[in-house]
Structures are given as C-alpha cells and as structure tokens.
Amino acid sequence: MLKANSEKRQARNGLPLKAKWRRDWQMVLLMIPGVVFLLVFFYLPVLGNVVAFQDFQPFLGIMHSEWNGLQNFVNLYANPDFWDALRNTLVLAGVQLLLFFPVPIGLALIVDSLVSNRFRRWFQTIAYLPHFLSWVLVVTLFQQSLGGAGFVNNLLRQAGLDPIPFMTNPDTFPLLVVAQLIWKDAGWAMIIFLAALTTVDVSLYEAAAADGAGRWRRLWHITLPSLRTVIVLLLILRIGDILSVGFEQFILQRDSVGSGAAEVLDTFTYYAGVVGGDWSSGAAAGLAKGVVGALLLWGANSLAHRLGEPGIFQKRGAS
Amino acid sequence: MISRRRFLQVTGAAIATSTLAACGDGGAGGGGAKASGELTLPTYKPFEGLHPDFPGAESGLEPGFLKFPADAVSSVKAPPLKSAVTALTETFATPPPPMGSNPMWQALNSALGGELRLTIGTDPGYPEKFATLLASDSLPDLMWLPPNQGIPNVGPMLEAKFQDLTKYLSGDAVLEYPNLAALKPASWRTAVVNGKIWGAPIPSTPFGQVMMGNPKTWAKVGGLQCTTADEFFAKCKELTNGTNYALEPAIINMLHMFGEWFGAPNGWRVNQDRSLTHLYETDNYKAAVEYAAKLWAAKVFYPDLNLADATPKTVNGQIAAQVVVGPRATADFRTLDPTLFVDTMIPFGHDGKAKPVYDMGYGTVGFTPFKKTDEGRIRELLALMDYLSAPFGTKEYLVKNFGVEGQQYQLDAQKNPVLTKAGQQQAPGLVSALQIMNSPESVIFNPANPDDTRKIYETEQKLLKFAMRNPTAGTYSDTSSKVGPKLTAAFRDTIVDIVTGRQKMDAYDAALKRWKSGGGDKMRGEFAAVLPSSVPVTGS
C-alpha cells in the first residue's frame, strides 16, 4: 500500500521529493519572504473574522467580547442600507466590467500597431503614469476641471450657460466613476495585454497577409485569439473581485452625490463598523463579501474550464 | 490656537463631510449621569485674584481680558510629576516638532518634573486611533475622550478599562487641586458617567455655532444682519454672481442656523407634560430644511461640496458667509487678514415676528480618563491635570500656552505675550494637543486687537438673549451612546439629499420613521426618564 502510494506520487511528479528539493531549493528559498508576507498580512488577519460572530467591543477585545452566533448576519439581512450598498456595488461593478474592461485591450492594440518606437514608448508612459496618482489627487483633478466650481462649469457660466452637474448627479455617477477609472488605470492595465501581444508569432501575420487577409481579419483571427487566454484570466480575476469596486474613490465623492448612489459594500463596512462603532456588523458584511467573492471566482473558473480555457488554476492533468 | 475647521469638528459640529454628532443637534451624548442624584459634584471654588475687564456670568458669558495680567501668579505649589507620563491626545494644528527637537516641550517637561510623552493623533481619524489603541490592550496613562466624535459605548468601556476618580474629586476632595476646583459644575457634568467621575473636564466656549460673514462683501446688500428669512434669501441671491457665492457648502451647519430662525429646539424640546420631542420631529426643523432646499435651488451655495475650509474664501470675498463655533472665532479670520473683523449673525425670527433661538454648545470637549492604576499614581496624574488646567493669567498657563519668555514668546508694548518665530514653530501643534486634553474655563482674549474682545463680549450678550441649552446635556442614554452617531449620520444623509434636490421632501418622513424605530424613540424614553427637574419647559 505504502509502496503503491509512493510509486503513484513519483509517477505524478516525475521525480522523488528529494531530487525535487535538490533541484528547486533556491526557488523555495526565494519564495519564503513572499509567503511570510502573505501569511502575516493576509492569512493571519483572516482569523480576525471571528468578530463577525461576536458583539465585539474594542475595550473588551476578542477574548472577552460576547458571542452572538449569526445575529450580525441576521441584522445585516434586515438592514436596507446593506442591500442598497450591495445594489450599488453590483451596478458599479457591472458598468465597470462593461465599459472599463475592454478599454485596456483596445489601448494595447492601438499601441501595438504604432510604427514609431519612440512615439510608442512615449504614449505608453503617458498612459500608465496616472496609475501612480492617489485617488485623492485624481478626484481633486476631476473636481477642479468638472466640479461645480471647476474649470468647465466656470467657462459655461461665463458664457451665460447653465453649469452641468458632472460630479453631483447621482444618476450619472457610475459613468463618472468609470471615466475616472479609465483615466487612472486603463494605461496600467494595458501593459499585461501588450506583453501578451509580443508573444504572438509574427510569421502568422505574414502567412495570413500572404493569404490575402486584411487588417481586420488578422486582428480577428490572429491577435484576439492569442490574447484570449489572458483576457479570460483577467476576466475571472475581475469577477472574483467584483464586490470590491474601490473604497477611496467612493468615500471621497460620497458627499457630492449622496450615499444613495455612492455607498458601496466597502464604505458601508467602514461607516457601520469603524465609524459607527459596530465592528461586528462591519466584519459580517466584509466576511459575506469575501465568501461571495470566493464563490464567484470558483464559478467563473469552472465556466472557463468548461469552455476549454485554462482559467486561473487547474485540476492536475486537466490541460 | 485651534484652527477653525478643526475646532468645529471637536466641538461636534459636523462639516458636510464629517461624521460627528453636532452640538445642538441631539447627536451628542457622552457625559452625564444615570445615578447623578447620588453623586456630589466637585466643590466649585473660582480662582482668586483675576480681574477681567469684562466680567463673566453664570449665563455662559465669557470674561474678557484686554491685557494679560502683569505679574502672573503661580497656581501650583510643586511640580506635579515624579516619572514620565504617556498620553493619547489630538492636535488640530500642524503636528509639532517631536519632543527631542522641541525646546518648548522640553521646557514644559522640566516644569512638570517628568516627561510628558504624548501620542498626538490628527484629524480626522481620532476615534479610529482611539479604538485600535483600546483593542491593543497597551493603554497610555491618559486618553482624551471626546464627547461627540462618536466613540460608542462609553459607559461599559470606562468601567472595563479606566479609573473611577470619584473619591478623589467629589465634593471637597477636589480642593486639594485648586485649578480643578475652579472648573464649573456645568463642565464637570461632562466627566460624569454612571454616577462616577472619570476625569477632569475640558471646558471650551459655552457658545454654539454662529454664522459669520465678511462685512466688505455684505456691505453691497446692506450688511449681514437680516430681519426675515426672505430678506436673507434675497441678499444671498444678490451676492451670488459669477464665481462668487453667498454661502459655504456645509449644509448641515447652515441648516442649523436656519433652524434657529425657524425656532427649532436645541436637540430636544421639553413639552408641557415634560415629554420630549426631538429636533428632527419638529415642524420648525422641517421648515428649515425646505428653506435650505430653496436656497440650494437658487444656487447660492458654493457648488463644490467637498470644500474643506471656507475661511480663505470668506476672507477674499468669494464666499460671503460661513458657520463657525462661537463668537470668538473672529480671530481665525484675523489670522488670514489682520485688517478683517468679521460680522456675526444674530438670529432673527424667520417671518420677522417669531422668536428665534440661539443654540448654546456643549461647553466642553470631553474629559481625559486615567488607565486603571494605584493611588500614588492617581495622585500624580491628578496633580498633572491640575497643572494643565491652570487658569488664564497664571504662570502655568504661560508655560503651557506660550513657553518661556525670551525663547518662545516676548512681551509686546502692552505687556501681552506674543509668540516669537521659534514659538510659532514649536507652539501651535503642541498647545493644541495640550488644550484638547486639559483646559481652564474659557476667556476672551485677543492680545493683538484688544478692541475685538469688547466687540465679542457684546456679541455674546446679544446671542444670550435667545440662548437655549440642550435639555439632555449632562444626562446619559445608553441607546444614544450606542447607536446615536449611526442614526444621526443616516438621517443627515437624507437631509442633504433633500436639500440638494436628490430626493423629494416626502423622503423626510420616511427617514424620520427609520430614525425613530432605529433607536430614536428609545433614546427619547431614556432621556425623558432622567430629565432633571431643573430643566425648564422649552419656550417658557
């Protein structure tokens, strides 16, 4: 039995453990700092989620706070603000997925088709620099140009026209949010697609061109299929993360458009938990969000497998 | 010393973005007593030997000084400390240079007899810092506890972690600490929770929010003062022009002012049968919300709701009026423009006939409880509190607020202390942090412009004619402490939606219903049950 097992393992890995260790020990060593980082800052704090099942009081601590079972989740279920926040989150995530996700792909295709190397590098740099600005700066920039007392509206006023409430209209808030997101992050997200594009075999294009395929046909039959794996991978990651639409961007603009439009799960958690002192409700909302996110991630990945894509992780031997 | 915007938050008035409960708006509820009947408040013994140019009064009128008393006297006998003390506090100015490179701080340490190691939080974020430190279980000796930044469950928290100081301070016991005995009983009520005293209170101006306007701007329309709400509306429209606006975009604060003109109560109204009606439930407040919405629709508010501090814009005339705390805040405008003395709006009846009210403030910025410890240490910390509460006009007051003569301050021609260049760098952040954890009773003092003191004193007298105090001030409700901040925040979200036209007026009643069922009715019951008989029926 034992022998059969070890044989099986050997067959699966190809090499005995000892040989693998000899081959990979430097790699394992290099991984340690990363693993420790993940453990300390991601996995250990996960344990703190127990406060979701307590009536947590910071002055009593986790050890002495009272347990109250699922009461926090029941309260959450009954709280209309939570559902509003969830609805806003989903709407915003949907709009982001629809309007933001394709932009970096398009950008990458444009940059890739640029002939001048110098211009290309210049464009790339300009496109991804805003990623390094904080949300405070980005929102301020938008405020200064599109806000009620901003550049555009002051111009309109001087021209005797009515100002346009770009920043304060709750109905168009999702569009504003996506516009900010595109301005800030599309260039950054483009990089990964650009990298994928460099792996496309140039001879494919040459062969297709020789066969008389035009620009669009080459794009459709060669470029996009080569990007498909990356696109699906990023799409799955995005779906797993769909309930995290951002925090600072919303907390900064919450007063301008009202909580009805700008309260998302993360700001709800902050206001209920940290500011309102109801830490347990906040933790419960956060935990619920995490569980749903994990399920979505798993679901999207399974779907990708079913469509014949590798997805983000695979069952051994699946590929 | 404390900047206007920040001070506003401390004293509890919410800026558009802030999450605090406002003074005069029923959100606050940290102090007071469930069993205050059994408690003897510390004996009040005012500081002798001070002769203000304008006397203070029981009504809340602050004593005014034209000059700093010559030959400052000493109010403590010996340096209070034997060893270092740690404390959590908050500064509302730029944080000071650290102790090691701050001669003023070092001078204070040697005057105290031990190091005062301060952890200085900044604004916003203090409640979060407080809560995290609390959860960490390694508490400093002293932690400033603001009454109105929404720190929840104050009662059980104090019992679990902090020292009951009743036997050291109640009745005549306080006389051992003369500067603490010089704090008024009204101030002490802040530091009483569950019938016990938990620290020395930190008095601040007893006045609440006021509207201030730049007289140069308002001159075009005949001045800031109005006699009807319609007149104010017309003036605002006239002042709004191009990129100039009449009002700062702090909606909740502005609404508070309008409420006073419409006769809305300060937090709660005491009815004939001694039942309570909350501010939000009154037609007066609802009328004020409608009025605010009308002003908003007329576009007289500065259109960027995220504006952090309107003071510079009021000074340069781009905004005509803003809301600040207390008539003394004229000094903040002087700092930016030494030639400017801003006008303070005196409340008026909305139709020219109704009686307006003026909401007095909370009167303190909370208290500073001690970590649980032994008697020797308690006495040492109390002596420190005594030192840092030294009244205006004493040597200790100078050391705490101005540093050392010749180094951080000099005496000007009128013998008033004025900060030197070094002082301006070392003092503000440190002084703000010290003032927020301990203060004597407040005075009006404007060393550079003595005449301001006289004018502010006059304004205070005018405001006091309409003064109304929150009837629940100094009492305690568990529900208010636990869910009050959350309920207030949710209700205000709706109010702001209504004023800015995002929701219709009918959303008001729905929000009110949620406020009541979410805990508002429970709060009413708890406050009514402990309503002191000395509190008069509102409007009587």
SS3 B37: helix
pLDDT for residue B318: 95
pLDDT over 60 (residue A280): yes
The answer to whether residues B331 and B480 belong to one domain is yes
- Angle, vertex CA B463, rays to CA B446 and CA B12, nearest 5: 75
Domain C-terminal end among B441, B457, B487: B441
CATH number assigned to the domain comprising residue B306: 3.40.190.10
Please choose, from the candidates B443, B358, B366, the residue with its C-alpha nearest in 3D space to the C-alpha of residue B182. Answer: B443
B131 in a domain, yes or no? Answer: yes
Q: How far apart are CA B446 and CA B438, in angstroms?
A: 21
Does one domain contain both B350 and B213? yes
Residues 6+ apart with CB under 8 A from B434: B89, B388, B400, B401
Classify residue A62: in a domain, yes or no: no
- Answer yes or no: are the C-beta atoms of B400 and B434 closer than 8 Å: yes
Q: Mark yes or no for CB contact B135/A58 under 8 Å.
A: yes
Domain residue limits at A245: 90-306
pTM of the model: 0.81
Q: Tell me which H or E stretch contains B367.
A: strand B364-369
Q: What are the structure tokens assigned to A58, written together?
A: 């910071």
pLDDT per residue rounded down to tens, chain B (540 residues): 333 333 333 333 322 222 222 333 333 333 443 444 568 899 999 988 788 999 998 888 999 999 998 888 899 999 999 999 999 999 988 899 999 999 999 999 999 999 999 999 887 778 878 887 887 778 999 999 987 666 777 888 899 899 999 999 999 999 999 999 999 988 898 888 888 999 999 998 899 999 999 999 999 999 999 999 999 999 999 999 888 999 999 999 999 999 999 999 999 999 999 999 999 999 999 999 999 999 999 999 998 888 878 999 999 999 999 999 899 999 989 988 999 999 999 999 999 999 999 999 888 889 999 999 999 999 999 999 999 999 999 999 999 999 999 999 999 888 888 889 999 899 989 999 999 999 999 999 988 888 999 999 999 999 999 999 999 887 778 888 778 878 888 899 999 999 999 999 999 999 999 999 999 999 999 999 988 888 889 876
- Residue A1 pLDDT greater than 80, yes or no: no
Residue A103 included in any domain:
yes
Judge whether A199 and A113 are in contact, CB under 8 Å.
no
At B490, list the tokens: 């949710």
In this complex, which of B19, B153, B497 lies closest to A57 when CB atoms are compared? B153
**Which member of B152, B157, B496 has the closest CB to residue A258?**
B496
Q: What pLDDT is recorded for position B337?
A: 92
Residues B378 and B517 in one domain: no
**Within-domain flag for B162:** yes
**Tens digits of residue pLDDT in B144-182:** 998 766 677 788 889 989 999 999 999 999 999 999 999
With beta carbons under 8 A apart, name residues in chain A contacting B496: 255, 258
Residue count of chain B: 540
If asked whether residues B167 and B283 sit together in one domain, one would say no
**What would the 3-class secondary structure string for B192-235 be?**
EECCEECEEEEECCCECEEEEECHHHHHHHCCCCCCCHHHHHHH
Counting the structural domains of chain B, the total is: 2
Give the Cβ contact number of residue A252 at 10 Å: 20
Regarding whether B135 and B42 lie in a shared domain, the answer is yes
The helix/strand/coil state of B365 is strand
Return the CATH number at A263.
Answer: 1.10.3720.10
State the smallest CA–CA distance between residue A153 and chain B in angstroms: 10
Q: B86 and B174: one domain?
A: yes
B244 and B286 co-located in one domain = yes
Name the token pair of A24: 């990979």
Instruction: Count A/B contacts: CB-CB distance under 8 Å.
Output: 96
Annotate B221-260 with b (16+ C-beta within 10 A) or e (fewer). Answer: beebebebbeebbebbeebbeeeebbbbbbbbbbbbbbbb
**In the structure encoding, which two tokens stand for residue B359, read together?**
């909401």
**Contact criterion met (CB below 8 Å) for B200 and B368:** yes
Task: Quote the mean pLDDT of chain B.
Answer: 88
A5 falls in which pLDDT band (50, 70, 90)?
low
Instruction: Give the total number of structural domains in chain A.
Output: 1
Query: Which of these, B104, B187, B191, lies nearest to B398 by C-alpha position?
Result: B104
Give chain A's radius of gyration (CA, Å).
Answer: 25
For residue B490, list chain A residues with Cβ-Cβ distance below 8 A: 81
Comparing CB atoms, the residue among A147, A157, A255 nearest residue B16 is: A255
Q: In this structure, is residue B538 part of a structural domain?
A: no
Q: Are residues B404 and B490 in the same domain?
A: no
**3-state secondary structure at position B484:** helix
Co-location of B249 and B316 in the same domain: yes
For B146, the 3-state DSSP assignment is coil
pLDDT 10s digits, A21-49: 888 899 999 999 999 999 999 899 888 88
Q: Is residue B69 part of a domain?
A: no
Do B351 and B319 share a structural domain? yes
Q: Is B89 helix (H, G, I), strand (E, B) or coil?
A: strand
- Say whether both B341 and B376 belong to one domain: no
Same domain, B250 and B117: no
Position A66 in a domain: no
Quick one: CA torsion of B96, B102, B105, B109, rounded to 10 degrees? Answer: 150
Residue B321 included in any domain? yes
Range of the domain at B166: 31-57+80-204+364-441
B256: left (phi over 0), alpha (psi -120 to 50) or beta: alpha
In a domain, B316, yes or no: yes
* Rounded-to-10 torsion of CA B359, B362, B365, B371: -160
Cβ of B150 within 8 Å of Cβ of A158? The answer is no
